[in-house]
Amino acid sequence: MNGHGIRGLVGQGMDGRRSGNGLLSRIVKVVDKLTGSGTVTSPAYETVCEIYLWGAGGGGDGNTVGGGGAGACYKRLLLGPSQQLSFSIGAAGISNGGLQTDGGDTVVNGPGGLVLTARGGAKNGAGGTGAGGTASGGDLNRTGGNGGPNGTAGEFGGAGGAGGGFGGGGGAAGFSDLGDLSGGTGGFGLLSIAPTTPGGGGSHSIDGAAGRVLIIFTRIGS
């Protein structure tokens, strides 16, 4: 799990069990990634799968305007035995004078043509807009905050960064309404505080934050 704790798993016992409609449920597998791409195989029995994904934060202009925060996507579905999901996590946008880049998109593909996309925040400077990333394909699709002289907060997500004359990054979208799963905060320009993962927008020569994929498999019943 890349050393990152499982967040937002509320309403359950310490053994990972939680009840609903008289049924017992148990978390049986968690995948939590911040970089790269790969394939995840569900357990050898039917499971409920919850997928959270964030794009990466956009790069700031290295001076007065921050990059956009990432979009975020959530999907809940039923998977059969040993079905596969593939993922690709967006790389952080670069904040470098004249060479800024957008934050990369994070994408999850699954059975039945499932495509989930959490788009990265846009760069600022060199023709960029600093707009927050959007999302598509999920049960919940949320938009990141805009970068600017001061960044704005992402939808149900991280706070924007204050610029203080050096530009602030937008906060990533998130799922604070589902538990402790807010997106990353935007970078603070004047204080040179880096944005946080996942998906906070960059500022003042500080790159945006990388994306994230969190996949939780839950078995219902005994």
pLDDT in tens, 174-216: 999 998 899 999 999 988 899 999 999 999 889 999 999 999 9
Paired tokens of 119: 């788009």
CA angle 39, 176, 219 (to 5 degrees): 45
H/E stretch holding 32 reads strand 23-33
Question: Which tens digits make up the pLDDT trace of 16-68?
Answer: 444 455 567 899 999 999 999 999 999 999 999 999 999 999 999 978 899 99
Burial, 130: exposed, middle or buried (Cβ in 10 Å; 0-12, 13-18, 19+)?
Answer: buried
Q: What is the pLDDT of residues 139-175, one digit of tens each?
A: 999 999 999 999 999 999 999 999 988 999 999 999 9
Which residues are CB-contacts of 14 (< 8 A; sequence separation ≥ 6)? none
Q: Does the reported pTM lie above 0.85?
A: yes
- Binned at pLDDT 50, 70 and 90, residue 6 comes out as very low
Residue 21 DSSP one-character state: T
Q: Does residue 3 have a pLDDT over 70?
A: no
Q: In 111-152, at which residue ranges do the beta strands (DSSP E only) sit?
A: 114-118, 124-125, 128-129, 135-136, 140-142
